[in-house]
């Protein structure tokens, strides 16, 4: 029977006899304060368990950290970027750097997040006098867009923005040249009795020998057939169109994807 856990008369008598033979035992905490020592031991065990737990958790977190991104492209181009959220599932990257022949030609110092592990991008085009590099930019909560890097004579010439495209380039207007198709944003629907949405054109870009150029003729044709009239090349919520047109928009998108 443990001393101190329960204390019937028999135990008290045993304790009295033990102390009577050796009074120094009174100074020994293991005899007179054993319950307190048990509490201390339990506390130490709990602390040690917590320490082991935190070490394990931080070790596992460390294992999940995403490595930096490195992509090698043609024309001696290389892309490097850092994971925007090293410990999370979201796979966007920032601090993008572009190198050509080992020389840095671009460095993004903003927090712009790039989506660099997509099947369509990054995509490099080699034209007569320059290169065009398409890289997808995360636009949450809006639609993603593309940054187009114009590279000429191993220098970054300029950057502009394009919509993300629906597919790889296809001959969408049967003129034997390839086109990209995309749209700028996701339209909302509003209105009580008659539901309306904003004008959201499908924009077509043709791959020519001089670059990726807006195919205005085909863009006008496609959007006139959807909206009954052409209202321009950009998404515009001020131009309300009946929601019924939206199903025509979706049908055209499906046609382009499945063509």
Stretch that binds Ca ion, among 42-50, 77-85, 138-146, 199-207 (CB under 5 A): 199-207
CB of 171 to Ca ion, least distance (A): 4
Min CB(179)–Ca ion separation in Å: 5
Q: Which is nearer to Ca ion, 157 or 175 (CB)?
A: 175
Residue 132 beta carbon to Ca ion: minimum distance, rounded to whole angstroms? 17
Shortest CB 207 distance to Ca ion, Å: 9
Nearest to 96, CA basis, from 68, 76, 120: 68
180 or 227: CB nearest Ca ion: 180
Looking at beta carbons only, is 98 or 202 nearer to Ca ion? 202
Nearest to Ca ion of 173, 185 (CB atom) = 173
| Interactions with Ca ion, residue window 18-47 (CB under 5 A) | none
Those residues whose C-beta lies under 8 Å from the C-beta of residue 159, and which sit 6 or more positions away, are 147, 148, 149, 150
Cβ pair 163, 186 in contact under 8 A: no
Rounded least distance, CB 241 to Ca ion, Å = 25
Stretch that binds Ca ion, among 70-78, 88-96, 126-134, 207-215 (CB under 5 A): 207-215
Taking CB under 5 A as the criterion, the residue among 206, 223, 227, 249 binding Ca ion is 206
CB of 117 to Ca ion, least distance (A): 29
The residue behind tokens 């890289």 is: 135
For the chain, what's the residue count?
259
Nearest approach in angstroms of CB 163 to Ca ion is 17
Of 175 and 254, which CB lies nearer to Ca ion in the complex structure? 175
**With respect to Ca ion, which residue has the nearer C-beta, 106 or 127?**
127
By CB under 5 A, tell whether 215 contacts Ca ion: yes
- Options 8-16, 31-39, 106-114, 210-218: segment touching Ca ion (CB under 5 A): 210-218
Which 121-180 residues touch Ca ion, going by CB under 5 A?
A: 171, 173, 175, 177, 179
Over the range 41-54, which residues count as b (16 or more CB within 10 Å of their CB) and which as e?
A: eeeeeeeeeeeeee
CA distance 120 to 180: 11
Return residues touching Ca ion (CB under 5 A).
171, 173, 175, 177, 179, 206, 215
């Amino acid at each position: 029977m443990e001393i101190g856990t329960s204390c019937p008369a028999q135990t008290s008598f045993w304790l009295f006899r033990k102390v009577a033979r050796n009074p120094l035992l009174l100074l020994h905490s293991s005899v007179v304060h054993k319950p307190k020592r048990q509490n201390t031991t339990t506390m130490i065990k709990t602390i040690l368990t917590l320490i082991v737990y935190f070490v394990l958790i931080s070790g596992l977190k460390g294992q999940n950290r995403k490595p930096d991104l490195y992509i090698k492209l043609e024309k001696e181009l290389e892309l490097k970027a850092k994971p925007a959220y090293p410990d999370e599932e979201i796979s966007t990257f920032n601090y993008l750097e572009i190198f050509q022949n080992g020389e840095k030609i671009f460095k993004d110092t903003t927090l712009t997040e790039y989506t660099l592990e997509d099947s369509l991008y990054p995509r490099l085009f080699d034209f007569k006098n320059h290169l065009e590099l398409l890289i997808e930019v995360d636009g949450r909560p809006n639609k993603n867009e593309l940054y187009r890097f114009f590279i000429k004579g191993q220098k970054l010439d300029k950057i502009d923005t394009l919509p993300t495209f629906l597919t790889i380039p296809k001959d969408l207007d049967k003129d034997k040249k390839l086109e990209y198709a995309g749209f700028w944003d996701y339209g909302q629907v509003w209105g009580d009795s008659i539901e309306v949405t904003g004008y959201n054109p499908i924009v077509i870009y043709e791959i020519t020998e001089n670059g990726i150029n807006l195919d205005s003729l085909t863009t006008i044709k496609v959007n006139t057939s959807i909206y009954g009239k052409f209202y321009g090349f950009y998404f515009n919520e001020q131009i309300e169109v009946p929601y019924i047109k939206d199903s025509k928009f979706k049908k055209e998108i499906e046609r382009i994807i499945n063509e």
